[in-house]
Structure 1
C-alpha cells in the first residue's frame, strides 16, 4: 500500500508541474501598451582607466 501511495504522489507532483509549465499564463499584469521614451540618452564619455 505504501508503494502505491508514493507512486500516486510522484505522479501528482509531475502532472501539476507539467500543467503549470504548459498551461495558460496566470500573470495579472495590466495592459499598458508601448510606453514612449521621454528621457535623454546616456552621454558617452571616455574613461581614462581603460
Structure 2
C-alpha cells in the first residue's frame, strides 16, 4: 500500500507544474487573443439634448 500511495503522490506532484503552466497559458491566450465579443457596430452617436446655458462651479 505504501508503494501505491507514494506513486500516486509522485504523479500528483509531477502534474502540478503542468497544470499551472496550462492555467497560465489559457489566461494569456484569453487576454491577448482575438476578441470574441459580438457587439453591433454603432459608429458615432449624435448629441440629442439641450446644452445648459448656465455654468455651475
Short-chain TM bin:
0.7 to 0.9
Moved over 6 A (4+): none
Shift of 1:41: 2.0
Shift of 1:45: 2.7
2:26 to 5, 16, 20: 16
Q: Between Structure 1 and Structure 2, which shows a larger proportion of helix residues? A: 2
Shift of 1:6: 0.9
Cα distance in 2 for partners of 1:40, 1:30 equals: 27
Secondary structure at 1:31 match in 2: coil
- The TM-score with structure 2 as length reference comes to 0.67
Structure 2: which 5+ residue stretches go unaligned?
A: 1-10
Bigger CA radius of gyration: 2
Secondary structure at 2:25 match in 1: helix
